[in-house]
Amino acid sequence: MGATNVVRWLTTCIALVAFLLELRVTAQDTDAVCTLASLQWSFNTEKQSPCAVASSLLGVCSGGDYKVVALPDTDTEYLGPSIDAANPCQCNTVVYSLMSACALCQNGTIITWSEWITNCAPIYTTFPKPIPDGLRVPAYAYLDVETQDTFDANAAMQDANATESTALPSTTSRTSSTQSSVTVSQTSSAPASASSTTSTSESLTAPNNPRSNAIGGGVVGGILGLALLLLLIGCSIAFRRRRRIRALLRTNSDSEQGALSSPSRGILDNSSKSADSESASADMSEIQSGVTTTQMTPSGVSQTVPSMNVSSSSDK
């Protein structure tokens, strides 16, 4: 019995905590009251005014609730975000439509879409953040306002019964709420001179995936390693081919020099032999020229006397 009571007590506490969290997330902070009965269609199915719905959406970017103040009188309107306060929750067509409906249901006036986004960068044609849990955004808030550059109340009324947008199932916890007010201005006052402003766009970065980064790094490293290996192999083949070509050229050069030296040696030998034969022929002619001479004796008989002319080597 005691264990049953403990379980029931814990279940009750958990349900109470969940209810408080849901209440904190979906709480709207606004003192704006819709006074025109003709604009009751602008409420959602939870009987929440467009001012309250806009307050919840604006609170997503401010860490909690965002206070939408009531218009002081019928000559006032809601202005767009300032340069310092511009964020994705304000720079979108959904919040612009809801704030326009909020101003109209208070019998106020509205500004154009281009005036609303004067200080916005980037600009969204839908709500770029998750819708808070338990909140129902009317379908008319998603109608096109860029074509006519304004909120069309008649088109919104015709779309009032369409399906509302709600949050997707999520377990993400929200942080504590903060409050800020929406600036209002008198329409009867003189318009301020426009000044050129520059706003920094919000960078949207996707979360890093360590596994995909590791795979990508491995692939890149493998490709680089393969390329380096192929480069080394190519250099080695080119170096070996160059060495073979040099060795072949050196061998051909040596053989050509040997072939050129052999005929010259034969020519020299032949010339020396020719010189020796010519010398021998000259000697024989000299010997033959001096073989016989004829002498006359006193008896009147001629007598041939052999004679030989010997030439010394110095005469040659």
**What confidence tens digit (pLDDT) does each residue in 37-83 have?**
999 999 999 999 999 999 999 999 988 778 999 999 888 999 999 99
Element (H, E) at 256: helix 210-289
* Measured CA angle at 287 (ends 286, 293), to 5 deg: 105
Whether 151 and 145 have beta carbons less than 8 Å apart is answered as yes
So what's the pLDDT on residue 68? Answer: 93
Domain for residue 27, yes or no? yes
Domain for residue 116, yes or no? yes
Q: Which residue has the tokens 């032999």?
A: 273
Q: How confident is the model at residue 213 (pLDDT cuts 50, 70, 90)?
A: low
Whether 59 and 129 have beta carbons less than 8 Å apart is answered as no
| Chain segment 257-306, per-residue pLDDT in tens | 766 665 555 444 555 555 555 554 555 444 344 444 444 444 444 444 44
Whether 294 and 302 have beta carbons less than 8 Å apart is answered as yes
User: Mean pLDDT over residues 213-227, rounded?
Assistant: 77
So what's the pLDDT on residue 293? Answer: 43
Count up the domains in the chain and report the number: 1
With 80 as the cut, is the pLDDT of residue 108 above it? yes
Domain for residue 221, yes or no? no
Domain for residue 295, yes or no? no
| Chain segment 240-251, per-residue pLDDT in tens | 888 889 888 888
Report the first-to-last Cα separation within the chain, whole angstroms. Answer: 157
Q: Buried b / exposed e across 180-218, counting CB within 10 Å, b at 16+?
A: eebebeeeeeeeeeeeeeebeeeeeeeeeeeeeeeeeee
Higher pLDDT, 23 or 220: 220
Domain for residue 34, yes or no? yes
Domain for residue 237, yes or no? no
So what's the pLDDT on residue 19? Answer: 44
Query: What range defines the domain where residue 118 resides?
Result: 2-188
Token pair belonging to 201? 């766009």
Domain for residue 63, yes or no? yes
Domain for residue 239, yes or no? no
E-strand ranges in 207-312 read 292-296, 302-306
